[in-house]
Amino acid sequence: MRDEPLLQVEKISKKYPVFEGLLRQNRGTVCALQDTSFTVNEGEIVGVIGESGCGKSTLARIVACLTPPTSGKVFFDGVEVTALSQKQLVPLRKEFQIVFQNPAESLNPRKSILDALCEVLSFHHIAEQKEHCDELLKQVGLNAHLLYRYPHELSLGQLSRVCLARALCTKPKLLVLDECVSSLDISVQAQVLNFLMDLRSHSKMGYLFISHDLSVVRHIADRVLVMYQGAVVEEGLTEEVFDDPTQAYTKQLLSAVL
């Protein structure tokens, strides 16, 4: 058992400038995240819930090193990734992957699914074996013949699973899932969630699982973070937070949905 968390987020804040008028003058800033801290351990699924606009997706992008924080630090596997340059990050990127909410915007419409998967393998200097791509699609419940299709030929649910397969190409230690099952119907959603839980059990992969679907989070997460206006207002074991919330906002959020 490792002594340190797989992911450690320390007092992350993110502010965006606000521009107004024809001259686009800076009228101040808006705070998307404020002093957010939490950890994800090896083999742990941490769920993130909260209303739209509370900062969940901004948090996902910062953890995946796609957006720099205004202040604070992110440590992955003991390394402060927020202190690294883009060039220094390249060798580490295969260790943490992100699956976005909108799969159609994540794939190049001019490239086949096979090309999209092989592009990732090539970037990280992993052998481009078609058999590997076949197996990746099967793992997420898709037929291998879809490798030769293009994004516009697939349903939204199929595209979501292709993006999940692409993220798994590098066998990451951490997977950031930003509403990755929101576009799937119930039966396919259950299949993907069961696959993620099975994968976690034998790979010790950690997940940061962001979702507005509280029932899904309750089913899959070991711990849960409740976010409100860019801050974590409650954190704890999933059953404890859902069954006995301590914060007024959490009680209101749960009562409105469950």
Tokens representing residue 168 in the block: 């798994």
Give residue for tokens 């794939």.
Answer: 107
Lowest mean pLDDT of 41-55, 81-95, 172-186, 239-253, name the range.
172-186
pLDDT of residue 257: 67
pLDDT on residue 128: 61
Contact 254, 247 (CB under 8 A): no
- Predicted local distance difference test score (pLDDT) of residue 53: 87
- Residue located via tokens 């039966």: 187
CA angle 200, 49, 244 (to 5 degrees): 95
Whether residue 1 is predicted with pLDDT greater than 60 in this model: the reply is no
Give the model's pLDDT for residue 134.
86
- Per-residue pLDDT tens digits for 60-118: 999 999 999 999 999 999 999 999 999 999 889 999 999 988 887 889 999 999 999 98
Report d(CA 41, CA 223) in Å as an integer: 10
Amino acid at 27: R
Q: Answer whether 192's CB lies under 8 Å from 18's CB.
A: no
Q: Which residue would you say has higher pLDDT here, 257 or 52?
A: 52
Please state whether beta strands 223-228 and 231-237 pair in parallel, antiparallel, or not at all (unpaired): antiparallel
Tell me the CATH number for domain 1-95+175-258. 3.40.50.300
Binned at pLDDT 50, 70 and 90, residue 141 comes out as confident
Q: Are 235 and 249 in contact (CB under 8 A)?
A: no
The region, left, alpha or beta by phi > 0 then psi within -120 to 50, assigned to residue 149 is beta
Domain boundary assignment for the chain: 1-95+175-258, 100-171
- Report the distance separating Cα 245 and Cα 47, nearest Å: 15
Residue 118: what residue type?
C
How does pLDDT run across 172-221, given as a tens digit for each residue? Answer: 999 999 988 877 788 878 888 888 888 888 888 999 999 988 999 999 99
**Residue type at 248 in one-letter notation:** A
- Helix, coil or strand: residue 215: helix
Note the pLDDT of residue 98. Answer: 93
pLDDT at 2 over 80: no
The number of angstroms, rounded, from the C-alpha of 60 to the middle of its chain's C-alpha atoms is 6
In this predicted structure, what is the pLDDT of residue 186?
84
pLDDT band at 52, cuts 50/70/90? confident
